[in-house]
């Protein structure tokens, strides 16, 4: 869903479960050659809100949106965002023999 409250938010998704609300946003930041797309994840459980901001998860808008949709589809919490990103980056950069494991 596109939002009107901030022109830098490219996509915003919310997933509600019985216990929590998970929010995912891709935020565009201008740079010399285009944009950096950052990921902001928040997890609200009762009176507690955990947040995670990861700067420049991509310089490609479509890839950043795909990542946001993946996180929303898997209901990744703010506390696990960096761990999941690290795993995804490892899979992408691993030699093909390791990716088969």
Residue 21 pLDDT: 97
Lowest mean pLDDT among 1-5, 18-22, 87-91: 1-5
* pTM reported for the whole predicted model: 0.80
Q: Which residue has better confidence, 89 or 101?
A: 89
DSSP code string of 2-45: --SS-TTEEEEEEEE-SS-EEEEEEEEEEETTEEEEEEEEEEEE
* pLDDT tens digits, one per residue of 51-91: 999 998 899 999 999 999 999 999 999 998 888 887 777 66
**Residue 97 has what pLDDT?**
47
Q: In the predicted model, is pLDDT for residue 99 greater than 80?
A: no
């Amino acid at each position: 869903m596109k939002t009107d409250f901030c022109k830098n938010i490219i996509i915003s998704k919310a997933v509600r479960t019985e216990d929590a609300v998970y929010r995912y946003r891709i935020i565009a930041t201008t740079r010399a050659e285009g944009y950096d797309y950052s990921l902001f994840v928040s997890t609200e459980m009762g009176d507690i809100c955990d947040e995670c901001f990861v700067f420049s998860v991509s310089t490609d808008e479509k890839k950043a949106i795909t990542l946001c949709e993946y996180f929303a589809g898997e209901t990744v919490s703010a506390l696990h965002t960096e761990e999941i990103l690290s795993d995804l980056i490892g899979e992408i950069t691993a030699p093909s023999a390791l990716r088969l494991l």
